[in-house]
C-alpha cells in the first residue's frame, strides 16, 4: 500500500508519523510545497517580535528526521497541482524547476491548510506589505524591519489571532502600531462586551485602534513609505503593513479531485476524515468539522484539532474505528501580559443560529485567594441552557489563571457537563493557586442560582422600566453613581425594605453582583420581584464603549 500525503505541517505530519507507527510496511510519501515540514506556524509572530530569536527553533522536525526515524519519503518544495481520482494519481510540480511528475497512490491524504485572505485591493502587492503564514514570511518581515523598529510605524489589518499577536510583537520591536479592523470589535469569536476590555488594554499600550474600518487601497508615498486608505476616508501612514484578514480553506486540489465541499467552503469529511472519495482523506484547516455545541458545520483553523484529525485519518487508513468527535472552538491569545480565552459557543453565534432558552452570567472572581498577595480579577461570561443547565460556552479575560478555568469548562463541555457539575468541581486549591470556591466553581454556583430561580438575573442592555436599586456603601456611590438608581446600602436593606417600590421589577446592583445577590434574596423573600444585575458595575463598565485615552 502507498499513501500520499499532501501538506507536511500539523495535520499532514501528524498523519504521516502515526501511519508509520501503525504500519511499518506502507509506503508513505509526504509532499510539502514550502521549504519546511512540521514548522511552528503559531510561533511566527513571536519570531518577528524577537521572543523566539532563533529561526531554527521554529522547525519542530525536519525531512531528515522523517526519513531516519519514520522511513517516510519527504519532498519539500513540491506542490501537488492536480488529483486524478479515477486513476489515483497526483500531479506534482517541483517548485524550483517547475518540472511536473505523476505520483500514484492507494490512499491520498489532503492537508493543504488554509490560504490567507487577500482581497483585490489596489496596491496590495506593494513592497512592505506582508502576510504571516510561513517561515519565509516571518524572515521577510524581520528583514524589512531590520533591527530596531523604534520610530517606525506599522499598520496591521485584521484583529484576529495573528493580527493581534503581530500588534504585540511589532510593539515589542519598538514600532508604533495601528490596527485596522472591519468589524466593530477585535477577536470576533468573543462577544463584543468581552472584547471591549482587550481593546481597552491595546489602547493603554498605545496601539491605535481603527474599528469598523475597511481598507480601500494601499499606496506608496513619495518618501517611500506606505499609505493605507480606509472607507471612512482616513489615511494611515506606515513603514510596514501586515495583512491578517483571516484564512480560507485551500480547496484547489480538492476541487481538481472532484471532492464535495461543504456550505462553509471547506472539504466535506465524515467522522473518519474521509472525503466524498473513499480513497481520499482530508484533515486540518481545509476541512469542515462539526461544532459539538451547536451541531452545525464550521471551519476552525487551529493546530490542536488538525493534529487529532491527522491521527484519525491514519487510524482510518489502517482500518481502525477512531472517530473525530468534532470541535468546540477552544482558543487562547496572550496580549501584553494578559490572556483572553474561550470555549464553546458565543452568545452571538447562538443568536445567529436562532437558538433560544439561553442564559448568561458575568462574574469577576479573583484568580486566587484574595488574602494572598497578587490576586488578579478574571472577567468571565458563562452561557448555559435554561432547560437543563448544559454549559454552552465560556469567555474569560484577565492577567492570571484564565487558561486553567477555560480548560476546566472546555473539559465539561466535552462531557456534556452542566453548571451543576461546575459548581461541584473539586479543583486544586491552595491560596497561591485558587480559592476554596474556585473562580470556575463560582461561575457554576452563580449560574445554578439563576436556574434554581434563587437569583433571576437581568443585564444592562435589557434595562427597561425596572427600578435600579444600588446596594453599595455610600463611599462607593460617591465615587461612581448610577444615574436614576435608588440607593440603600445592603446592611440597611432589611430595615428600609418599605422604601422599595413594589409596582415594578427591581434590578439590584452592586460592584460585581455578590451583594446584589444577597439583596435579591432578601427582597424576593419579602415578595418583591427582584433580579440581580449580573456582574454589577464591573459589567456595566465593560459594556460601555471604551473612550480612547
Chain-centroid distance, C-alpha 95: 33
Q: Which of 221, 201, 105, 106 is nearest to 153 (CA)?
A: 221
Beta strand residue intervals within 167-321, DSSP E: 176-181, 208-211, 215-220, 226-230, 235-238, 240-243, 247-249, 280-282, 289-290, 297-298
Task: Please identify, among the stretches 27-35, 88-96, 187-195, 416-424, the one whose residues bind its own copies according to the rule CB under 8 A.
Answer: 416-424
Q: Which is nearer to its own copies, 14 or 539 (CB)?
A: 14
User: Which long-range contacts (C-beta less than 8 Å, at least 24 apart) are formed by 145-148?
Assistant: 145/48, 145/173, 145/175, 145/240, 148/173, 148/174
Q: What is the C-alpha separation between 317 and 281, in angstroms, rounded? A: 9
> Please, where are the H alpha helices in 393-463?
402-414, 419-424, 439-451
Min dist CB 3 to its own copies, Å, is 16
The 203-222 contact track toward its own copies, x by CB under 8 A, reads --------------------
Q: Which is nearer to its own copies, 495 or 547 (CB)?
A: 495
Span from 106-114, 265-273, 297-305, 457-465 in contact with its own copies (CB under 8 A): 297-305
Residue with cell 422599595: 500
Which residue reads 462607593 in cell numbers? 476
CB of 418 to its own copies, least distance (A): 10
Q: Number of residues in contact with its own copies, rule: CB under 8 A?
A: 85
The answer to whether residue 373 forms part of the interface with its own copies (CB under 8 A) is yes
Residue 43 sits in the site that holds its own copies (CB under 8 A): yes
Which residues between 6 and 35 bind its own copies (CB under 8 A)? 10, 20-25
> Which residues, at least 6 apart from 8, have a Cβ–Cβ distance to it below 8 Å?
16, 30, 31, 32, 34, 36, 37, 38, 74, 76, 111
In the block, residue with C-alpha cell 508604533: 176
336 binds its own copies (CB under 8 A): no
Residues paired with residue 487 on neighbouring β-strands, in sequence order: 470
The span from the CA of 191 to the CA of 173, in Å, is 30
Determine, following the binding rule CB under 8 A, whether residue 549 of this chain makes contact with its own copies: no
390 touches its own copies by CB under 8 A? no
Residues of this chain, 520-539, that bind its own copies according to CB under 8 A? 521-522, 525-526
Under rule CB under 8 A, which residues in 351-370 are in contact with its own copies? 369-370
3-state class (DSSP) for residue 82:
strand
**Shortest Cβ 276–its own copies spacing (Å):** 25
Least separation in angstroms between residue 355's CB and its own copies is 21
Other Cβ atoms less than 10 A from the Cβ of 307: the count is 18
With beta carbons less than 8 A apart as the criterion, state whether 146 and 240 touch: no
For its own copies, the binding residues in 436-455 under the rule CB under 8 A are 436-438, 440-441, 454
Q: How far is Cα 439 from Cα 406, in angstroms, rounded to an integer?
A: 10
CB of 356 to its own copies, least distance (A): 26
Q: Which of 412, 446, 509, 530 binds its own copies (CB under 8 A)?
A: 412
CA distance 141 to 38: 21
Q: Spell out the alpha helix ranges (H) of 388-496.
A: 402-414, 419-424, 439-451, 474-479
Q: Give dist(CA 128, CA 442) in Å, integer.
A: 49
Which of these ranges, 123-131, 190-198, 398-406, 501-509, lies near its own copies under the rule CB under 8 A?
398-406
| Closest to its own copies by CB, 362 or 442 | 442
List the catalytic residues: 42
The region of 37-45, 88-96, 238-246, 532-540 touching its own copies under the rule CB under 8 A is 37-45
Nearer to its own copies, 255 or 491 (CB): 491
Interface residues for its own copies in 51-110 (CB under 8 A)?
Answer: 51-52, 57-58, 60, 68-71
Q: Fill in the per-residue mask, 301 to 330: x = in contact with its own copies (CB under 8 A), - = not in contact.
A: -xxxxxxx----------------x-xxxx
Using the rule CB under 8 A, give the single segment among 75-83, 175-183, 231-239, 403-411 that binds its own copies: 403-411
Subset of 463-522 contacting its own copies (CB under 8 A): 490-491, 494, 515, 517-518, 521-522
| Piece in contact with its own copies (CB under 8 A), picked from 221-229, 248-256, 336-344, 378-386 | 336-344
Q: Kindly report the backbone phi and psi dihedral angles of residue 464, in degrees, each rounded to the nearest multiple of 5, phi listed first.
A: -120, -115
Q: Is the Cβ of residue 20 or residue 131 nearer to its own copies in the bound state? A: 20
Q: Bridge-partner residues for 156, per DSSP?
A: 179, 242
Among 238, 240, 341, 450, binds its own copies (CB under 8 A): 341
173 scored as a contact of its own copies (CB under 8 A): no
Residue 222 C-alpha cell reads as 513619495
Smallest separation, CB 105 to its own copies (Å): 22
Question: What's the first-to-final CA gap in the chain, in angstroms?
Answer: 64
Stretch touching its own copies by CB under 8 A, among 50-58, 113-121, 179-187, 532-540: 50-58
| Residue 415 binding its own copies, by CB under 8 A | yes
Reported in sequence order, the residue ranges of 322-474 that DSSP labels E, i.e. its strands, are 331-335, 338-344, 358-363, 378-385, 391-398, 457-458, 467-470
Calculate the alpha carbon distances from 4 to 29, 86, 262, 311, 536 in Å. Answer: 5, 15, 23, 15, 57
Does 417 bind its own copies (CB under 8 A)? Our answer is: yes
Closer Cβ to its own copies, 241 or 536, answer by number: 536
Shortest Cβ distance from residue 433 to its own copies (Å)?
5
Taking CB under 8 A as the rule, does residue 376 contact its own copies? no
Q: CB of 125: closest distance to its own copies in angstroms? A: 30
Q: Find the binder of its own copies among 128, 431, 456, 505 (CB under 8 A).
A: 431
Confirm if 409 and 431 have CB atoms less than 8 A apart. no
Residue 472 CA: distances (Å) to CA of 116, 169, 495, 510, 548:
50, 41, 16, 5, 28
Amino acid at each position: 500500500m502507498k499513501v500520499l500525503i499532501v501538506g507536511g505541517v500539523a495535520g499532514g505530519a501528524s498523519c504521516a508519523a502515526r501511519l508509520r507507527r501503525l504500519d511499518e510496511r506502507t509506503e508513505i510519501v509526504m509532499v510539502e510545497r514550502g521549504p519546511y515540514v512540521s514548522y511552528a506556524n503559531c510561533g511566527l509572530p513571536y519570531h518577528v517580535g524577537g521572543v523566539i530569536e532563533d529561526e531554527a527553533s521554529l522547525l519542530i522536525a525536519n525531512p531528515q528526521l522523517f526519513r531516519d526515524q519514520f522511513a517516510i519519503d519527504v519532498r519539500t518544495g513540491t506542490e501537488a497541482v492536480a488529483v486524478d481520482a479515477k486513476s489515483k494519481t497526483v500531479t506534482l510540480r517541483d517548485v524550483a524547476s517547475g518540472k511536473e511528475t505523476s505520483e500514484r497512490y492507494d490512499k491520498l491524504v489532503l492537508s493543504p491548510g488554509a490560504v490567507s485572505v487577500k482581497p483585490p485591493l489596489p496596491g496590495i502587492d506593494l513592497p512592505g506589505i506582508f502576510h504571516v503564514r510561513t517561515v519565509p514570511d516571518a524572515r521577510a518581515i524581520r528583514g524589512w524591519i531590520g533591527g530596531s523598529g523604534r520610530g517606525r510605524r506599522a499598520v496591521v489589518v485584521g484583529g484576529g489571532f495573528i493580527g493581534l499577536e503581530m500588534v504585540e510583537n511589532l510593539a515589542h520591536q519598538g514600532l508604533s502600531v495601528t490596527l485596522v479592523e472591519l468589524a466593530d470589535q477585535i477577536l470576533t469569536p468573543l462577544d463584543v462586551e468581552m472584547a471591549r476590555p482587550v481593546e481597552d488594554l491595546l489602547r493603554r499600550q498605545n496601539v491605535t485602534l481603527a474599528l469598523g474600518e475597511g481598507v480601500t487601497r494601499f499606496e506608496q508615498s513619495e518618501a517611500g513609505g506606505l499609505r493605507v486608505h480606509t472607507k471612512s476616508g482616513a489615511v494611515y501612514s506606515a513603514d510596514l503593513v501586515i495583512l491578517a484578514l483571516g484564512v480560507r480553506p485551500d480547496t484547489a486540489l480538492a476541487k481538481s479531485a472532484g471532492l464535495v465541499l461543504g456550505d462553509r467552503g471547506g472539504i466535506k469529511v465524515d467522522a473518519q476524515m474521509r472525503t466524498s472519495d473513499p480513497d481520499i482523506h482530508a484533515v486540518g484547516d481545509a476541512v469542515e468539522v462539526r461544532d459539538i455545541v451547536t451541531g452545525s458545520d464550521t471551519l476552525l483553523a487551529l493546530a490542536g484539532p488538525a493534529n487529532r484529525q491527522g491521527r484519525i485519518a491514519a487510524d482510518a487508513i489502517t482500518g481502525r474505528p477512531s472517530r473525530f468527535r468534532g470541535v468546540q472552538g477552544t482558543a487562547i491569545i496572550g496580549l501584553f501580559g494578559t490572556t483572553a480565552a474561550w470555549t464553546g459557543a458565543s452568545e452571538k453565534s447562538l443568536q445567529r443560529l436562532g437558538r433560544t432558552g439561553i442564559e448568561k452570567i458575568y462574574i469577576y472572581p479573583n484568580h486566587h485567594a484574595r488574602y494572598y498577595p497578587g490576586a488578579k480579577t478574571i472577567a468571565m461570561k458563562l452561557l448555559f441552557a435554561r432547560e437543563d443547565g448544559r454549559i454552552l460556552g465560556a469567555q474569560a479575560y484577565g492577567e492570571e489563571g484564565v487558561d486553567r478555568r477555560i480548560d476546566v469548562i472546555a473539559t465539561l463541555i466535552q462531557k456534556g457537563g452542566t453548571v451543576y457539575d461546575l459548581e461541584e468541581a473539586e479543583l486544586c486549591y491552595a491560596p497561591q493557586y485558587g480559592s476554596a470556591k474556585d473562580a470556575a466553581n463560582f461561575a457554576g454556583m452563580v449560574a445554578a442560582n439563576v436556574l434554581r430561580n434563587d437569583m433571576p438575573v437581568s443585564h444592562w442592555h435589557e434595562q427597561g422600566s425596572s427600578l435600579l436599586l444600588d446596594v453599595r456603601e455610600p463611599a462607593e456611590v460617591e465615587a461612581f453613581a448610577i444615574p436614576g438608581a435608588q440607593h440603600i446600602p445592603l446592611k440597611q436593606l432589611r430595615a428600609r425594605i418599605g422604601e422599595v417600590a413594589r409596582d415594578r421589577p427591581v434590578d439590584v446592583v452592586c460592584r460585581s453582583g455578590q451583594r446584589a445577590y444577597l439583596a435579591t434574596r432578601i427582597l424576593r423573600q419579602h415578595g418583591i420581584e427582584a433580579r440581580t444585575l449580573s456582574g454589577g458595575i464591573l459589567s456595566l463598565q465593560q459594556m460601555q464603549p471604551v473612550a480612547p485615552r
